[in-house]
Amino acid sequence: MNTLIYILKKEFRQIFRDPAILRMIFMMPALQLLVLPFAADYEIKNINVGIIDHDHSDYSRLLISKIEHSNYFELAAYSQSRAEGLKWVEDNKADILIEIPKNFEKTLIRENSATLALSANAVNGTKGNLGAAYALNVINEFNKNIRAEWLVLPRMNPEPIIQIDYINKFNKLSNYQHFMVPGILAILLTMVGGFLSALNIVKEKEIGTIEQLNVTPIKKYQFILGKLIPFWLMGFIILTIGLIVSYVVHGIVPGPNIGNLYLFTGIYVFAILGFGLLISNFTSTQQQAMMVAFFFMLIFILLSGLFTSIESMPAWAQTLAWTNPVTYMVDVMRKVLLKGAELIDIWPHIKTMIIFGILLNGLAIWTYRKQAL
């Protein structure tokens, strides 16, 4: 036991004296929580609309003004030439083109119907889709107004209509940052636990001090615990700092079930540390460790449901995603912070993570050799 305490003393002293690690520990949360959430905004807004108006009637002007006043759209360009319009899309000046044909107003009144042409830049499929949907909404509203102008509104709808009353839960402001921050916090914990711990051990390998330790009576488990415990504790510190920043900067209130988060985080960081340890067992230079860790981190992050949802993945990918520990952390983080989940909601994840922890750390201890064969 004493040995462990001496080891821990040494580890803490080294960590706090290493400027690179300190910088990372403070820069990473700062960067990730302060900058990233504002950058990682997938919400579709500020859609640039280009109008090609062949009609120049009152109605066309009305339509244009309605689009201008919509929150989703910015009137970016106006012209009478279709070729010019297409060029705007090419140059990314416009995301959506609405072409109003000649005699639009006249045709609408005389023949009871008229047709507009809408083109959407679909390089980004979601943006094109949603942009077109929003534009159609505006056009429909515009259409209703015209009808109201020409017809007397009956007391009842002329034909049966199903109305939908939407209530979006859990995100009162429909704020994208709210959605991203918990996920980013999860990634942060992963990087500290996986990245830094792997680098730390490999550094000793590179310098040679690890050999010195291998010759001493230090047992494997003592050495490993000595490496894991400081970063494990750091995980909690980072979580706390992260929660404070999330509250102050992004207005995410932790809520009464926050203890569950700490419980899960403890188990999660333990598992991820095992993974970092595993990496360090198989790499000999810091450069290698960094590359390998980065490689896995990237795949884990992409498969974690942070940027794209798990439900949208094909079955095989979903299975893969649920063998990825990061997926669980992201899910728990979101559930607790956004939805106020209770212990019973995350209990299955806790069980799974315990298994992960035992598996990864067991593997790491098993493959750590004090002796070279």
Partner 1 sequence: MNQFKAFILKEIYHILRDRKTLLVLLGMPIAQIVLFGFALSNEVKNTSIYFLNQSSEPLAQQLIAKVDQNKYFDVKGYIQDAAEAEVLLRSGKAKVVAIIPSDFAYALAHENETTIQLLTDGADPNTANIINTYFTLITQQFRNEHFGKINLPYQINTNVRMLYNPQLKGEYTFVPGVIAMVLMIICVLMTSVSIVKEKELGNMEMLLVSPTNPLIVIISKAVPYFVISLIIVTIILVMSVVLLHIPIRGSLWLLYFVSSIFILSALSLGLVISTITNSQQVAMLISLMGMMLPTIMFGGFMFPIENMPLPMQIISNIVPAKWFYYAINGIMIKGLGISSLYKEILILLGFCVLFITISFKKFNIRLS
Partner 2 sequence: MSEQLSITASQLTKRFGDFYAVDHISFDVRKGEIFGFLGANGAGKTTAMRMLTGLSIPTSGTATVAGFDVYTQSEEIKKKIGYMSQKFSLYQDLKVAENIEFFGGIYGLSKSRLKEASEKLLHTLGFEHEAQAIVGSLPLGWKQKLAFSIAIMHEPAIVFLDEPTGGVDPITRRQFWNMIYEAADKGITIFVTTHYMDEAEYCNRVAIMVDGKIEALDQPKVLKQTFHAPNMEDVFYQLARKAKRSDG
Half-sphere exposure of 58 (CA within 13 A, CB side): 4
Identify the DSSP state of 311. G
Q: How far is the CB of 372 from partner 1 (least distance, A)?
A: 18
Tokens of 348: 């299955």
The nearer residue to partner 1, 6 or 282, going by C-beta atoms, is 282
Helix (H), strand (E) at residue 54: none
Per CB under 8 A, 218 contacts partner 2: yes
Residues of span 7-66 touching partner 2 by CB under 8 A: 7, 9-10, 13-14, 17-18
Per CB under 8 A, 170 contacts partner 1: yes
Chain center to CA of 94: 27
Per CB under 8 A, 5 contacts partner 2: yes
Per CB under 8 A, 355 contacts partner 2: no
Helix (H), strand (E) at residue 100: strand 96-100
Per CB under 8 A, 43 contacts partner 1: yes
The nearer residue to partner 1, 225 or 279, going by C-beta atoms, is 279
Per partner kind, with CB cut-offs from 5 to 8 A, the member of partner 2, partner 1, none near residue 372 is partner 2
Q: Which x/- pattern over 171-210 shows residues binding partner 2 (rule: CB under 8 A)? A: ------------------------------------xxx-
Residues of span 199-258 touching partner 1 by CB under 8 A: 199, 203
Size of the site for partner 1 (CB under 8 A): 109
Size of the site for partner 2 (CB under 8 A): 26
One residue of 125, 158, 160, 217 binding partner 2 per CB under 8 A:
217
Per CB under 8 A, 75 contacts partner 1: no
The nearer residue to partner 1, 114 or 239, going by C-beta atoms, is 114
Q: Residue 318 region, left (φ>0) first, then alpha (ψ -120 to 50), else beta? A: alpha
The nearer residue to partner 1, 4 or 146, going by C-beta atoms, is 146
List of residues 6+ apart from 229 with CB closer than 8 A: 8, 11
List of residues 6+ apart from 47 with CB closer than 8 A: 72, 73, 74, 95, 96, 127, 131, 134, 135
One residue of 205, 250, 340, 365 binding partner 1 per CB under 8 A:
340
Residues 327, 231, 288, 354, CA torsion sign? negative
User: Strand, helix or coil at 52?
Assistant: strand
Distance (Å, rounded) from C-alpha 214 to C-alpha 222?
11
Q: What strands, in cross-sheet order, belong to the sheet with 47-53?
A: 73-79, 47-53, 96-100
Tokens of 149: 């102008």
CA-based radius of gyration for the chain: 29
One residue of 212, 240, 319, 323 binding partner 2 per CB under 8 A:
212
Residues in touch with partner 2 (CB under 8 A): 2-3, 5-7, 9-10, 13-14, 17-18, 207-209, 211-212, 214-219, 370-373
